[in-house]
Amino acid sequence: MDAAEKISVEDEAVDKKIFKDCSKIAFYRRQKQRLSKKSTYRALLDSVTEGKESTRFQIINEAAKVPLLAEVYGIEGNIFRLKINEETPLKPRYEVPDVLTSKPSTVRLISCSGDTGSLVLANGKGDLKCHITANPFKIDLVSEEEVVMSINSLGQLYFEQLQIPPKQSRATKENEEDTSDDTTQENQEELGLWEEKFRNFVDVKDNGPASIGLDFSLHGFEHVYGIPQHAESHQLKNTSDGDAYRLYNLDVYGYKIHDKMGIYGSVPYLLAHKLGRTLGIFWLNASETLVEINTEPAVKHALTQMGPVAAKEKGRSQTDVHWMSESGIIDVFLLTGPTPSDVFKQYSYLTGTQAMPPLFSLGYHQCRWNYKDEHDVKAVDAGFDEHDIPYDVMWLDIEHTEGKRYFTWNEKRFPNPKRMQELLRSKKRKLVVISDPHIKIDPDYLVYAKAKEQGFFVRNHEGGDFEGVCWPGLSSYLDFTSPKVREWYSSLFAFSVYQGSTDILYIWNDMNEPSVFRGPELTMQKNAIHHGNWEHRELHNIYGFYQQMATAEGLIQRSKGKERPFVLTRSFFAGSQKYGAVWTGDNTAEWSYLKISIPMLLTLSVTGISFCGADVGGFIGNPEAELLVRWYQAGAYQPFFRGHATKNTKRREPWLFGEEHTRLIQEAIRERYTLLPYWYSLFYSAHVASQPVMRPLWVEFPDELETFSVEDEYMLGSALLVHPVTEPKATVVDVFLPGSSEVWYDSKTFARWEGACTVKIPVALDTIPVFQRGGSVVPIKTTIGRSTGCMTDSPYGLRVALSTKGSAVGEFYLDDGHSFQYLHQKQFLHRKFSFASGVLINSCADKRGHYPSKCVVERILVLGLKKQPSSVTSHSPDGKAQPVAFTYCAKTSTLNLEKFSLNIGADWKVQIQ
Ligand code: NOJ
């Protein structure tokens, strides 16, 4: 048995002791200790200089040896950027590259004279200002005379300046006497300045302490969201009586839920929302980061005030957010909204929008660790056809390779990968295979040998290649932070290089936190060395981002720039949305994990990552049939829809749980395929207009306080409200239908509900509570095929749900579903549907696009039509009027136009009289 065989997942099962809580993190302890001593910073405003791009000044406190340099930038689109760094550090401090899509365009800030001791910087229009107070140093962000955010008003600015290492080497610890001027040995350990211990690991820090921190007070805000990834609620919780939210990418098998420990990915970006204003704070730092949240609700504030008048004036809620990072610089973007949609645009202006996914990737994905061999794949594939269940993608996990050597095939199990892909291709299906960042140390393995020869691995503290254990046994890790390594890695996906690959093969990047078995917290030592001589600690959270970037680039290049890639990653950072999809890792087959998938995905969605999903069924353990059905139903309405299961679990293909359950799963998947045109159009909107696909209710109803804490249901786009059933044996669910001027329609029964109320919806095992918002048009497919590719020519339907005013609007987007022609040649179709005064109009939404389609709209369903029409007439593009056959149901107020046939891409009208 080789080392690889001995590695089993169970060895790595979650044991919280393996991971640090805040008390075990030295920079956290240091900041707490120092901040309790309060030494405030002051700004030296007589040092102000106005550069071409930024306004600079120095800030200093008693403890600092030399002043720090602060820079304030105005950025296009109502964004401010604040950078704080040492003016002349001993050596450069890490500034996160490659996340901002380009250098943000700056706008000139006009400095208006403040009072003595202050400086006011205003944007061109003068409606947004940064009010800088010198002593103590503080910045107020003022919008239309209202202070919406204060920075450092709690005096938590913290900046450890780089120092020359103490003379004594820590390697000769016994002789160590005088490692610092004012601290005892015990205190040294506590502070972990040059060395930090955790379990059996010692982190030797050549650069010494370098941590940073800053506080932000959000005035009038009690609802904050974002900073994924945690298995926690969507609305962030107070951390005052427990651990801070940790952002440190870790491989946490079977992670505990309702916990603030860091898991696979990090997006250091927080959103705050209150009536009339949404804000964002994007803390651009890739080192280990902690975020403390302290919300004082309005009531509590009011109670602590003296007298009712004061209470009224001062009884505002407030949320304080305290960011702390282990190293790097303070580089923070303040996104001033004012609407949720504006904040989404501001964030994607900086980090990019969701990549436009190939259409197939919005279908259903079938995965398992592992499908054994080609025969197994063939049988599972056939199972879908036998049971008439559509699916698009077959997945192969690590066992498809020769000893976990990525880019190879296990010859016994998969002797003819091309033949297998041809089978899938014949049904217009695809294959995804896994490719992890660790590379087996084996001189006969070409990928290893080449990488070794070229020095492409991360190095250890001593200068050799970093070695750690992962699935293949002892491995080295590709240094994806190096552009050269990425370029080379991308080239490995070329068809001529990747033997057995074809153009229907796509990629899954896993274990890229990176996961290092037996490493500290199951990851890489922080003093490993990357390209440019940067320590791993500086960039830990962005490692996985780079792998997905290189993989996506490789897939684009293998097609000579023509085809859109699909890459799923487990680890991610701000901006990962540009490269593909993300999933929530190793969840468990329990109801609570199904339930938490909703807030976890909502959080990813508002932080730019629209293409996200959770393993359907739960990765670990064996779901009972009811849970599996409910999970398929929920997953069908989540952006990335993949069934997956770990090794040693019972097989759970959709048809293995009896006829009835098979039918229910089939129905859920078919609902997904019915709605594909809507999904695809939503992804287009995420891609071009930065709007999340899956939206918390507060995003769609920002003026309705009741929506701010809802997280058991959500909107898909602006038209569908989904409330998945996440309780066993449910017979009824309480669905909150927001909006006092809204109406909602049950998508199955067509029952109509007025908004702003909670309704009890009876549910059977076949019920997926989905409601269409009055005022919307949802495009659907009326015929389902084996896969998305088989449905290209199938007809469309429109579901028109009328508002209280009897109107509705909707959009539809179509292109070839796979190439970049939509971008380079404008080969796309973007249509707009609008219904008013009894007339439904199909018109062009974007004249730049051209994409001929043979498809017709063959069915139109109008919900909420109060009166039976006397006639329905269609007016085709050539002006011809024709009567349309219809049925009207008075009981449900629905009108059905069935024998309809007008091209989806043409201008036409339907008149209902
Ligand atoms: C961990 C991943 O989270 C899981 O999805 C995968 O099946 C295993 N690694 C094996 O590759």
517 close to 509: Cβ distance less than 8 angstroms: no
User: H or E segment at 883?
Assistant: strand 881-883
| Measured distance CA(68)–CA(84) in Å, rounded | 7
| Measured distance CA(425)–CA(890) in Å, rounded | 47
| Measured distance CA(784)–CA(795) in Å, rounded | 10
Q: Which atom of ligand 1 is nearest to the CA of 367?
A: 7
Q: Which residues contact 829 (CB under 8 A, 6 or more apart)?
A: 812, 813, 814, 815, 849, 850, 851, 853, 904, 905
- The pLDDT of 174-200, averaged and rounded, is 71
Backbone angles phi and psi of 865, in degrees to 5 = -90, 115
The residue count of the chain comes to: 913
Q: Does the C-beta of 643 come closer than 6 Å to ligand 1? A: no
782 close to 795: Cβ distance less than 8 angstroms: yes
Map residue 641 onto helix, strand or coil: strand
- List residues bridging with 633 in a β-sheet: none
Alpha helices in 722-874 (DSSP H): 821-824
Give catalytic status of residue 510 as yes or no.
Answer: yes
- The pLDDT of 352-377, averaged and rounded, is 98
**CA 585 vs CA 7, 408, 690, 783: distances in Å:** 19, 24, 25, 33
Q: Does the C-beta of 397 come closer than 6 Å to ligand 1? A: yes
CA of residue 888 to ligand 1 center, whole Å: 51
Report pLDDT digits (tens) over 531-541. 999 999 999 99
CA of residue 510 to ligand 1 center, whole Å: 7
Question: Read out DSSP for 390-450?
Answer: ---EEEE-GGGSBTTBTT---TTT-S-HHHHHHHHHHTT-EEEEE--SEEE--TTSHHHHH
HSE, side-chain direction, 13 A CA sphere, residue 407: 21
pLDDT at 521 over 50: yes
**CA 180 vs CA 47, 188, 703: distances in Å:** 32, 8, 55
157 close to 82: Cβ distance less than 8 angstroms: no
pLDDT band at 893 (very low <50, low <70, confident <90, very high): very high
Report pLDDT digits (tens) over 771-830. 999 999 999 999 999 999 999 999 999 999 999 999 999 999 999 999 999 999 999 999
Give catalytic status of residue 513 as yes or no.
Answer: yes
Give the per-residue pLDDT at 39: 74
793 close to 764: Cβ distance less than 8 angstroms: no
| Ligand 1 probe mutation, 433, 646, 652, most atoms within 8 A of CB | 646
> 106 is written with which tokens?
């700056």
pLDDT band at 188 (very low <50, low <70, confident <90, very high): confident
**Least confident piece of the model among 93-97, 108-112, 206-210, 449-453:** 108-112
Give the per-residue pLDDT at 6: 47
Rama region for 429: left / alpha / beta (φ>0; ψ in -120 to 50; rest): beta
Q: Which residues contact 687 (CB under 8 A, 6 or more apart)?
A: 353, 354, 355, 356
pLDDT at 315 over 80: no
- What is the β-pairing status of strands 505-509 and 567-569? parallel
| Ligand 1 probe mutation, 249, 368, 397, most atoms within 8 A of CB | 397
Question: Which of these is catalytic: 196, 374, 392, 586?
Answer: 586
Q: At what angle do helices 676-689 and 659-674 cross, to 10 degrees?
A: 50
**Least confident piece of the model among 118-132, 362-376, 665-679, 770-784:** 118-132
**CA 850 vs CA 562, 818, 822, 829, 905: distances in Å:** 18, 16, 9, 6, 9
Give the per-residue pLDDT at 245: 98
Q: Does the C-beta of 247 come closer than 6 Å to ligand 1? A: no
> 670 is written with which tokens?
């078919």
| Measured distance CA(160)–CA(788) in Å, rounded | 55
Give the per-residue pLDDT at 114: 66
- List residues bridging with 771 in a β-sheet: 721, 746
CA of residue 229 to ligand 1 center, whole Å: 17
**CA 136 vs CA 38, 118, 257, 814: distances in Å:** 11, 10, 40, 56
Q: Does the C-beta of 654 come closer than 6 Å to ligand 1? A: no
295 close to 224: Cβ distance less than 8 angstroms: yes
Tokens 């997905």 correspond to 548
Q: Does the C-beta of 586 come closer than 6 Å to ligand 1? A: yes
- Tell me the average pLDDT of the chain: 94
Map residue 837 onto helix, strand or coil: coil
pLDDT band at 592 (very low <50, low <70, confident <90, very high): very high
| Ligand 1 probe mutation, 401, 509, 586, most atoms within 8 A of CB | 586
Give the per-residue pLDDT at 686: 98
Report pLDDT digits (tens) over 271-308. 999 999 999 999 999 999 999 999 998 865 445 544 54
Q: Which atom of ligand 1 is nearest to the CA of 397?
A: 11
Q: CB neighbours (10 Å) of residue 420?
A: 24
Question: Which of these is catalytic: 222, 288, 510, 811?
Answer: 510
Per-residue burial over 743-779, b = 16 or more CB atoms within 10 Å of its CB, e = otherwise: bbbbbeebebbebeeebebebeeebbbbbbbbbbbbb
Map residue 187 onto helix, strand or coil: helix
Q: CB neighbours (10 Å) of residue 35?
A: 18
CA of residue 567 to ligand 1 center, whole Å: 15
pLDDT at 2 over 50: no
Q: Which atom of ligand 1 is nearest to the CA of 586?
A: 3
Report pLDDT digits (tens) over 609-650. 999 999 999 999 999 999 999 999 999 999 999 999 999 999
- The dihedral through the CA atoms of 655, 659, 664, 670 has a sign that is positive
Top pLDDT among 451 and 877 is at 451
Give the per-residue pLDDT at 180: 44
Q: Which residues contact 198 (CB under 8 A, 6 or more apart)?
A: 20, 24, 520, 521
pLDDT at 14 over 50: yes
Give catalytic status of residue 586 as yes or no.
Answer: yes
What is the dihedral angle through the alpha carbons of 412, 417, 421, 422, rounded to the nearest 10 degrees? -100
Q: Does the C-beta of 436 come closer than 6 Å to ligand 1? A: no
CA of residue 647 to ligand 1 center, whole Å: 9
**Least confident piece of the model among 121-125, 513-517, 798-802:** 121-125
Give the per-residue pLDDT at 179: 35
CA of residue 880 to ligand 1 center, whole Å: 58
Q: Does the C-beta of 433 come closer than 6 Å to ligand 1? A: no
Report pLDDT digits (tens) over 706-725. 999 999 999 999 999 999 99
CA of residue 610 to ligand 1 center, whole Å: 21
Question: Read out DSSP for 191-251?
Answer: HTSSEEEETTEEEE-TT----EEEEEEEET--EEEE----SS-SSPPP-TTSPPEEE----
Tokens 């691995």 correspond to 457
> 717 is written with which tokens?
């786009």
Protein residue closest via CA to atom 7 of ligand 1:
369
User: E strands along 705-828, which residues?
Assistant: 714-716, 720-722, 732-737, 743-746, 752-754, 757-762, 770-773, 776-781, 796-801, 808-814
Q: Does the C-beta of 232 come closer than 6 Å to ligand 1? A: no
Give the per-residue pLDDT at 183: 54
Rg (the chain; Cα; Å):
28
| Ligand 1 probe mutation, 367, 508, 511, 584, most atoms within 8 A of CB | 511
pLDDT band at 314 (very low <50, low <70, confident <90, very high): low
